[in-house]
A and B are shown apart, each in its own frame.
Chain A
Amino acid sequence: MVATPAEYMAELQAMTRRQFLGNSAWGIGGIALAAMLGSEKSAHANPVSLPPAGSVVDPLMVRAPHFAARAKRVIFIHLAGAPSQHELFDWKPALVRHNGQPCPDELLKGEHFAFIKGHPTLLGTPYKFARYGRSGQELSELIPHLASVADDLCIVKSCTTDQFNHAPAQLLLHTGDARFGGASMGSWLTYGLGSEASELPGFVVLVSGDKTPDAGKSVWGSGFLPGAFQGVQCRASGDPVLYVKNPDGVDRAGRRRMLDALQDLNSMAAASAADPETDARIAQYELAFRMQASVPDAMDISHEDAATLEAYGATPGKASFANNCLLARRLSERGVRFVQLFDWGWDAHGTSATDDILTQLPKKCKESDRPVAALINDLRQRGLLDETLIVWGGEFGRTPMAEFRDGKKDFFGRDHHPHCFTVLLAGGGCNAGTTYGETDELGCRVVRDPVPVKDLQATILHLLGLDHRRLAYRHAGLDRHLTGVTPDARIHAGLIA
């Protein structure tokens, strides 16, 4: 029905602000949140403007966030393979009661499993749960050290994903896209904010468990963003950063002599070629020289005091998850924007003792429980916890059903489960001491406050002072965002202190 221009104008005038905005892209939730936080409207509207290609400006120079940030940096601890929420966080007495019984049909309708065949049986957890801390958070006996910092944790029990294979799910979690080619969260953050670590990479990756994640290095790749924003893997053995060590026969003084000559010759050429890129190259070689000292220094934990090493369970010179947690603190202290830890070995299907919930899972918990708690305590003691957001989690959850692959029932484990999983947040302005979201009585589906991966990403960006819709990069005709092209990611106020 077409109104006359006058009628149309009159109708527009009559629309209230609330109605109008309620129908707009922001939605009611967005407005409520903006009103609550009071900071959105004052933010500047421009997305990040990068210097043009060939510019001499450092791509990692510090940039202001869109609005006041709660956290300055992130330590993202990814338990690759996906830890079981049933054994650690999501206590379901009903599941224990029905242990061994056939799974109700309604939970199987339209379900696709990675490995489960036929009609599976329910698997209750064999572990005990108790309430911890002033907050009374409910946690498993497998993670006593995390229980000791329960009041620092925001336990998100209602994360969901739409991928149930490792590689696509890891890609979705880190890049916002289950396909290859996206930019990872650390790349987005260093693109958006730069880095305060002038002599270290802004986005550092530490891997333990002797394996890279299933999706390979793409989970810390820069995708369509410039390569300067990709994660730099630092290693506990060999060169801490590839090629950081001088070759045999060249000491630091020798490298300095070579660089002095190099810079002199470059300057002679720059004077005649008038190419600003030459100056930029000189600056990067100088930074490389400084990194040759600063990276090994940052990566050397041998001078940490005995109490600290003990608290983490770290051993200098060894490649371990504990060492990586301690390194995450050292790198955070030095201003690294995003530290990403990957730990391999959490894919407990129950096909043997090396991937079950009775032997392997307790082993992994023993390796990781203490160092993560130590990291939280250490950051707090150093006054860094408030400004450092720790994220802990896997790429999906695990089924409330036993897998029993090929019908064998010698070991217990669970299949991949995209409908719910638990992620922990700590520090960085998160709502510590709370549990967010809820799953049904068998721990199969989310019944309250679902947090799809893109919501988690939007909320993390928000804590860092970035509006996930404004953090954009134009690529191949599209404005790309970490949270996807459609604007439906939601910031969960319940996760924010």
Chain B
Amino acid sequence: MLAACAEIILVGMAIIAPSQGVDRAADTLIAERAHDILVSRCLRCHGGVREQAGLNLAWRDRALQTRPKGPPAIIPGNAAASALLMRVLHDDPELRMPAEAPALSADEVATLRAWVDAGAVYPVLWSLRPIEEQMPAAGPELLWNTHGIDRAVSLRLASAGIPLPPEAAPESLVRRAALDITGLPPDPALVSAYVADPSPAQWDHTVDALLASPAFGERWARIWLDLARYADTKGYEKDARRDVWRFRDWLIDAWNSDMPYDQFTERVLAGDLLPGATENDRIATTFHRLTLTNDEGGTDNEEFRVAAVMDRSVTTWLAWMGTSMQCVQCHAHPYDTIDHRDYYAALAFFNQTADADRDDDSPLLHVAWERGTTTVPVMQELPVSAQRETHVFTRGNWRALGDVVAPSTPACFPPHGARRSDRLGLAKWIMDPANPRAARVEANRIWETIFGRGLVETLEDFGEAGARPSDVTLLDFVASRLQKLGWSRKALIGEIIKSRTYRMSAQPSDAALRIDPDNRMMSRAPRFRLEAEAIRDQSLAVAGILDRSMHGPPVFPHQPDGTWMVVYSGDGWTTSEGGDRYRRAIYTFWRRSSPHPSLMNFDAVSRETCTVRRIRTNTPLAALAAMNDPTFVEAAAAFAQRAIDATPGASDTERARWMLSAALVRTPRHEECARLAQLAAGERAVGTATAQPSSEISVWSAVAATIMNLDEFLSRT
């Protein structure tokens, strides 16, 4: 603990650069504001997609170009002569820009004018600037000044006039950390140890114990399974099975062994190209073999090979760089300075693998395991003699071949330089410290996983049209920590969770509700519904029936009959026997065309494409699943039995207290226990009235189901 803090302070003191974030020159601010106006009001029509009237304002050189009619849109230093200003100020509503939209405000026009007169310098997008590796400035409260995150958060709260929040109750903190780190409720021993000694040292010990649990990898791998569009089937019409679970296990193990993010990236993108590549290095490349394969009769394998290659490139840019490339398949990026040609140059890194949408999914790697051998589709580079040319596709059509392009990265990013022009070269370029995106994107993803919302809310878009960071100093601090920690994501998660910011109470103060209603300043601990997997896993764990076995082929927990109606295949769902029915959700068989419906009701994604962010919704279908899905019904009954066994001879109120405490990991209030006791009594009375005495198990199952549907139980608080 002390060592970690000292290191953070040293980092802060070692960098004595002026804070550009605070003292940015006035003309830079005007340039940023002017550019924001272009992005929000102009680029929709005069950007990379439409280029209305042949004008693209996304690129400075294109905005300055000579035009067939009239002056250039922008003449640096001469706003009065620039078509941009003339058109936004035009008297005739038919000619005034933006077309068919409200006019710019006087203030916006003044900004554009000042910016053009000052030379119309396009600002460098915030996410492309070097990461500012500095300790955030200290706030007014000494206790909040040790940890960089706490400094940034407390300074912001103090300057907004929001009192620093108190710490959450110790037992609630342990539940919060256990769910965030492991996706499971905490071991009672861990709770009681921290409640007995809620000291900073004991907190650090608690966090470290959770990070050491194998459940950590199972929880954090889920995020990368969404990014990897991981499924146990191939997709499209037949959606036949595919053995790829070894990759899922590799991913879990990579998190548990804390594989540094740079090594992780090299293995996932190009493990096969590493010198002396091991079996595990090759299994890691299954990441990009999880693209869809179309076995439908009559399909052109080259068409779907190309589709898979495009998906690999798009997924890589989305997952690692926070850049949406998909749109650039057909035209230049609408908002960012990424050209049509750049898409194909980026894709060229991925165009030299031997796979080709074959029904057998080759090339395959044969991997031995306890119960025999499994074959995993992997990436394999074509021999030099057989390598392909990569062409630009005119308007994105794979049959309309344009120029040949060589592998390279878009010019708005740091140059690819003399690196190898293959996947390994791309991986090394992504992870180069000179590329500020990789650390920002991954640090932001970790932040979002813990706090429910990223410092950049649009995890999928760090470009011009994406959200701006709520606190760029804080984001850069966290991103630079990830780099400084040798790309150890586990260490960064530990640092975040050891902060006071993390330990805040979720209870908002009046000032917090008034000044920061959406909690963008972190004026209280975020409270949000758990993800699909955690909802299932927590219920099984609290019921005492969760099977903690790790790894192996996917399992088939209960699913309603008739859910799979599969075209051209007799494949059916056979519910697993024994412990496999109660494994963690991450091991559930995932059929793309028909994913497990209960998990889907809690916003799991079908994994046909890379998903960066699940959008939480609150629907009656989720309520129906939580009340009536046989898995949850079974969990409620098991929890009831557990309670009966644990509290022999207890009063209804006492038993309800035990159950609430076991499920919610806090001291129940008396009125809560009393209300549940009333429910139990009511259930018993109904049984008596109908002359069919209710069994105690059915009485307490009703109580258990009630607890397991509580908003608090379903939420991270």
CA distance A8 to B636 in the complex (A): 76
Within 8 A of B (CB), among A15-48: 15, 17, 20-21, 23-25, 45
Question: Chain A contacts of B630 at CB under 8 A?
Answer: 247
Question: Is B642 in the interface zone, CB < 8 Å from A?
Answer: no
Contact A292 B624 (CB under 8 A): yes
- Given the interface pairs A11-B69, A269-B712, A476-B461, the reply to whether A254 lies near B86 with Cβ below 8 Å is no
Contact A180 B608 (CB under 8 A): yes
CA distance A361 to B693 in the complex (A): 58
Q: Which of B296, B618, B620, B706 has the most chain A CB atoms closer than 10 A to its own CB? A: B620
Contact A257 B598 (CB under 8 A): no
CA distance A314 to B675 in the complex (A): 48
Question: Chain A contacts of B333 at CB under 8 A?
Answer: 477
A105-148 CB mask vs B (1 if < 8 Å, else 0) is: 00000001111000000000000000000000000000000000
Question: Chain A contacts of B45 at CB under 8 A?
Answer: 25
Q: A474 touches which one: B326, B465, B682, B686 (CB < 8 A)?
A: B465
Question: Is A407 in the interface zone, CB < 8 Å from B?
Answer: no
Contact A214 B567 (CB under 8 A): yes
Question: Chain A contacts of B214 at CB under 8 A?
Answer: none
CA distance A24 to B80 in the complex (A): 25
Within 8 A of A (CB), among B689-717: 698, 702-703, 705-706, 709-712, 714-715, 717
Question: Is A307 in the interface zone, CB < 8 Å from B?
Answer: no
Question: Chain B contacts of A226 at CB under 8 A?
Answer: 615, 617
Contact B327 A485 (CB under 8 A): yes
Question: Is B154 in the interface zone, CB < 8 Å from A?
Answer: no
- Given the interface pairs A3-B71, A221-B606, the reply to whether A216 lies near B563 with Cβ below 8 Å is no
Contact A254 B94 (CB under 8 A): no
Within 8 A of B (CB), among A284-313: 284-285, 287-288, 291-292
Q: Which of A2, A25, A201 has the most chain B CB atoms closer than 10 A to its own CB? A: A2
Question: Chain A contacts of B507 at CB under 8 A?
Answer: 272-274
Question: Chain B contacts of A417 at CB under 8 A?
Answer: none
Question: Is B123 in the interface zone, CB < 8 Å from A?
Answer: no
- Give chain A nearest CB distance to B420 CB in angstroms: 29
Question: Chain B contacts of A265 at CB under 8 A?
Answer: 672, 675-676, 706, 710
Contact A258 B86 (CB under 8 A): no
Contact A167 B294 (CB under 8 A): yes
- Give chain A nearest CB distance to B180 CB in angstroms: 18
Question: Is A416 in the interface zone, CB < 8 Å from B?
Answer: yes
Question: Chain B contacts of A113 at CB under 8 A?
Answer: 298
Question: Is B256 in the interface zone, CB < 8 Å from A?
Answer: no
Interface stretch of the complex, out of B110-118, B232-240, B483-491: B232-240
- Give chain A nearest CB distance to B580 CB in angstroms: 22
Q: A227 touches which one: B99, B615, B715 (CB < 8 A)?
A: B615
Question: Chain A contacts of B597 at CB under 8 A?
Answer: 242-243
Contact B95 A15 (CB under 8 A): yes
Question: Chain A contacts of B606 at CB under 8 A?
Answer: 180, 216-218, 221
- Given the interface pairs A24-B52, A258-B706, the reply to whether A247 lies near B633 with Cβ below 8 Å is yes
Question: Is A352 in the interface zone, CB < 8 Å from B?
Answer: no
Question: Chain A contacts of B629 at CB under 8 A?
Answer: 243
Question: Is B334 in the interface zone, CB < 8 Å from A?
Answer: yes
- Given the interface pairs A284-B619, A416-B298, the reply to whether A215 lies near B71 with Cβ below 8 Å is no
Contact B567 A212 (CB under 8 A): yes
Q: How large is the interface on B (under 10, 10 to 19, 20 to 34, 35 or more residues)?
A: 35 or more
CA distance A216 to B296 in the complex (A): 13
Question: Is B313 in the interface zone, CB < 8 Å from A?
Answer: no
CA distance A486 to B86 in the complex (A): 27
Question: Is B501 in the interface zone, CB < 8 Å from A?
Answer: no
A363-404 CB mask vs B (1 if < 8 Å, else 0) is: 000000000000000000000000000000000000000000
Question: Is B469 in the interface zone, CB < 8 Å from A?
Answer: no
Question: Chain A contacts of B52 at CB under 8 A?
Answer: 24-25
Contact A477 B560 (CB under 8 A): no
Question: Is A228 in the interface zone, CB < 8 Å from B?
Answer: yes
Q: B560 touches which one: A112, A115, A242 (CB < 8 A)?
A: A242
Within 8 A of A (CB), among B329-362: 330-331, 333-336
Interface stretch of the complex, out of A51-59, A66-74, A330-338, A426-434: A51-59
Within 8 A of A (CB), among B555-569: 560-563, 565-567
Question: Is B371 in the interface zone, CB < 8 Å from A?
Answer: no
Contact B71 A217 (CB under 8 A): no
Question: Is A281 in the interface zone, CB < 8 Å from B?
Answer: yes
CA distance A264 to B682 in the complex (A): 15
- Given the interface pairs A24-B52, A181-B609, the reply to whether A53 lies near B324 with Cβ below 8 Å is no
Q: Which of B95, B296, B458, B608 has the most chain A CB atoms closer than 10 A to its own CB? A: B608
Contact B628 A244 (CB under 8 A): yes
A221-265 CB mask vs B (1 if < 8 Å, else 0) is: 100001110001001011101111111011001110110011011
Question: Chain B contacts of A242 at CB under 8 A?
Answer: 560, 563, 597-598, 601, 621, 624-625
Q: A257 touches which one: B72, B595, B671, B683 (CB < 8 A)?
A: B683
- Give chain B nearest CB distance to A325 CB in angstroms: 19
- Give chain B nearest CB distance to A56 CB in angstroms: 9
- Give chain B nearest CB distance to A213 CB in angstroms: 8
B52-87 CB mask vs A (1 if < 8 Å, else 0) is: 110000000000001111111000000011010010
Q: Which of B80, B566, B567 has the most chain A CB atoms closer than 10 A to its own CB? A: B567
Q: Which of B49, B296, B335, B619 has the most chain A CB atoms closer than 10 A to its own CB? A: B619
CA distance A269 to B671 in the complex (A): 11
Question: Chain A contacts of B566 at CB under 8 A?
Answer: 211-212
Q: Which of A11, A213, A262 has the most chain B CB atoms closer than 10 A to its own CB? A: A262
Within 8 A of B (CB), among A164-199: 164-167, 179-181
Q: Which of A21, A207, A246, A258 has the most chain B CB atoms closer than 10 A to its own CB? A: A258
- Give chain A nearest CB distance to B370 CB in angstroms: 33
B660-684 CB mask vs A (1 if < 8 Å, else 0) is: 0000000001011001101100110
- Given the interface pairs A8-B69, A218-B593, A288-B627, the reply to whether A237 lies near B518 with Cβ below 8 Å is no
Question: Chain B contacts of A8 at CB under 8 A?
Answer: 69-71, 83, 86
- Give chain A nearest CB distance to B672 CB in angstroms: 6
Question: Chain A contacts of B616 at CB under 8 A?
Answer: 53-54
Q: B628 touches which one: A215, A243, A287 (CB < 8 A)?
A: A243
Q: Which of A3, A241, A281 has the most chain B CB atoms closer than 10 A to its own CB? A: A281
Question: Chain A contacts of B567 at CB under 8 A?
Answer: 211-214, 344
CA distance A2 to B66 in the complex (A): 7
Question: Chain B contacts of A258 at CB under 8 A?
Answer: 627, 679, 702, 705-706
CA distance A239 to B629 in the complex (A): 11
Contact A218 B608 (CB under 8 A): yes
- Given the interface pairs A180-B609, A265-B672, the reply to whether A20 lies near B95 with Cβ below 8 Å is yes
Question: Is A275 in the interface zone, CB < 8 Å from B?
Answer: yes
CA distance A265 to B709 in the complex (A): 10
Question: Chain B contacts of A354 at CB under 8 A?
Answer: none
CA distance A265 to B663 in the complex (A): 14
Question: Is B307 in the interface zone, CB < 8 Å from A?
Answer: yes
Contact B565 A243 (CB under 8 A): no
Between A and B, 13 residue pairs with Cβ closer than 8 Å are: A5-B81, A11-B69, A54-B616, A59-B617, A165-B298, A214-B237, A237-B562, A243-B601, A243-B624, A250-B702, A258-B702, A280-B618, A476-B326
User: Which positions in A face B, CB cutoff 8 Å?
Assistant: 1-3, 5, 8-9, 11-13, 15, 17, 20-21, 23-25, 45, 52-54, 59, 112-115, 164-167, 179-181, 201, 207, 210-218, 221, 226-228, 232, 235, 237-239, 241-247, 249-250, 253-255, 257-258, 261-262, 264-266, 268-270, 272-275, 277-278, 280-282, 284-285, 287-288, 291-292, 344, 415-416, 474-479, 485-487
Given contacts A217-B593, A228-B617, A344-B567, 14 further A-B contacts (CB under 8 A): A45-B101, A59-B617, A112-B300, A167-B236, A210-B565, A211-B566, A214-B237, A226-B617, A239-B560, A243-B629, A257-B686, A261-B678, A261-B706, A291-B620
